Amino acid sequence: MPPHWSKYFSNLLALLLGFTLAGALVGYAAIGLVIGLSLALIWELSQMYRLMRWLNASTTSSEVPESIGPWRDLFDGIHRLQRRHLRVRDQLQAEVNRVQDFTDAMRDGVIMTNDKGVMEWWNGAAEYLLGFRKNSDRGLYIHNLIRTPAFKEYFDRRGYKEPLQIPSPDKPHIQLQLHVSPFGDDGRLIVVKDITRLVQLEQMRRDFISNVSHEMRTPLTVISGYLETMVDYSDQLPSKWHRAVNTMYQQSSRMEALLTDLLLLSKLETGDQLVDDRVTNLKPLLEQICQDARALSADKAHLINLTVGDRHYLRGDESQLRSAFSNLIFNAVKYTPAGGSITVNWATDKQGGHLSVKDTGIGIDAVHIPRLTERFYRADPSRHQETGGTGLGLAIVKHVAINHDGNLDIRSEMGKGSEFICHFPRARLAEQPVTEDQKNAD
Ligand code: ADP
């Protein structure tokens, strides 16, 4: 037993004995004991009261009350627990402050919301980039702060594979890239990056290509024109010039085709050539392209087969669609050996409309397929001289599909053939437009 406990018990014993003996002296030993016990009980209750008051008032600085025996141990034990608890709390607070400092030092915005979009926490960069206010925006719906419809649609969608690009709602000159990731049971973490510089560089690159192509076009047209005349009158030229003039003419024609494709691609990318929402009848369009493809095939005598489903009206830009479809069909002619067959099919289903161009040609190795729509990417560079392509065809097809809310699907097997499918959403399908004559007849 610790020494201060002996003191406590000896004091208690002395109190009880003292009152019992004093009671015995006057003939009431039992009453003396009861008085002693009552006093001991009152003292215990007073200690309990002190404990309660101390616990209620207890702050880090409040003194531990003095006491004896088990009460002293109780006060000291509780005080130790309190100090340990405060130490852990200070450590946790320091960690939280560190995380806060670290997220505030980040250049990227970080926002935490629940799955409904209720704002729970965000860092300093998010405040700057999106104009959130620390004190008043907590608990608000993020859709009320970022009102761009594309953001609402993106946030409400469950899959967040791709990031979203929008201008800042607070500083419209800043371009932002937002990427949402779900976490925990119902949390959403939104990382916001400032990509203004990247967007400007991309724009400069497009403008540069577009300007250079434009500037080179006029001199090249003049050179090609003169070369064409020289080819036409080659019988008047010394024979040693024939080969040189023919090669120069072929190469200048190739360069012209390249510039035309580059200009078209940069227009498609910059959105200069906005999709015309008039209705395009795909049947005559595809018939015309297949006829041109037969002329291109010439001696190679490909079997070109076209089938067009009943719903063949598409909301979209006829000239863009013509470029995309002719690139696919002419590629099939270029990359299919003589006598092979090419099947062009337009069909519709619940998902939308699908244009498939299938050939029995050389096929493409699976490693190349993900990169085929990059500019100038060629699966077999050794062949491009033979085919005379620009290497931009599939990039054009991809952009036309994107401009029409669709996408390009490529399937191929080496040596067996390839299938290129342009998918268009259901919303793009249209009914046959009413002609002026029909309107007048009504
Ligand atoms: P190119 O002008 O070289 O044809 P494209 O962008 O149209 O450029 O096509 C890119 C590459 O994809 C081609 O160089 C070729 O290797 C491959 N390719 C395209 N279409 C086919 C096809 N139908 N069959 C086999 N390979 C193809």
Q: How many CB atoms sit inside 10 A of residue 247's CB?
A: 11
CA dist., res. 76 & res. 291, Å (int): 99
The answer to whether the CB of 379 is under 6 A from ligand 1 is: yes
pTM score of the predicted model = 0.68
C-alpha span between 181 and 101 (Å, rounded): 22
In Å, what is the CA distance from 247 to each residue of 213, 221, 251, 387? Answer: 22, 16, 6, 15
- 223 pLDDT above the threshold of 90: yes
pLDDT digits (tens, 9 = 90+) for 135-176: 889 999 999 999 999 999 899 887 888 899 999 999 999 999
Q: Identify the residue whose C-alpha is closest to ligand 1 atom 8.
A: 391
Tens-place pLDDT, residues 179-201: 999 998 889 999 999 999 999 99
Mean pLDDT score, 43-60:
86
* CATH match of 198-270 with 1.10.20: no
Task: Supply φ then ψ for residue 270, to 5 degrees.
Answer: -80, -10
Compute the mean pLDDT over every residue in the chain, rounded to the nearest whole number: 90
Q: What is the pLDDT of residue 160?
A: 87
Say which CATH architecture domain 279-430 belongs to. 2-Layer Sandwich (3.30)
Atom 19 of ligand 1 has which residue's CA nearest to it? 331
User: Does residue 257 line the site of ligand 1, with CB under 6 A?
Assistant: no
The pLDDT assigned to 259 comes to 92
Q: How many angstroms separate the alpha carbon of residue 372 from the centre of ligand 1?
A: 7
DSSP strand pairing (341-348 vs 303-308): parallel
- Going from the Cα of 400 to the center of ligand 1, the distance in angstroms, rounded, reads 17
Enumerate the domain spans of the chain: 3-97, 106-194, 198-270, 279-430
Q: Going by C-beta distance under 8 Å and a sequence separation of 6 or more, which residues neighbour residue 420? A: 328, 331, 332, 356, 357, 358, 394, 397, 408, 409, 410
CA triplet 95, 92, 182: central angle to 5 degrees? 65
How far, in Å, is the centroid of ligand 1 from the Cα of 363? 10
| Residue to probe by mutation, ligand 1, list 268, 326, 335, most atoms within 8 Å of CB | 335
378 pLDDT above the threshold of 80 = yes
What are the tens digits of pLDDT across the range 76-106? Answer: 999 999 899 999 999 999 999 998 888 888 9
Listed residue (126, 79, 75) closest to 100, CA to CA: 126
Determine if ligand 1 sits within 6 Å of the CB of residue 359: yes
What is 106-194's CATH superfamily?
PAS domain (3.30.450.20)
Residue 375 near residue 355 (C-beta atoms within 8 A): no
Helix (H) or strand (E) holding 295: helix 282-297
Instruction: Please compute the mean of the pLDDT values over residues 26-41 and round it to a whole number.
Output: 92
pLDDT class for 249, splitting at 50, 70, 90?
very high
Give the 3-state secondary structure of residue 425: strand
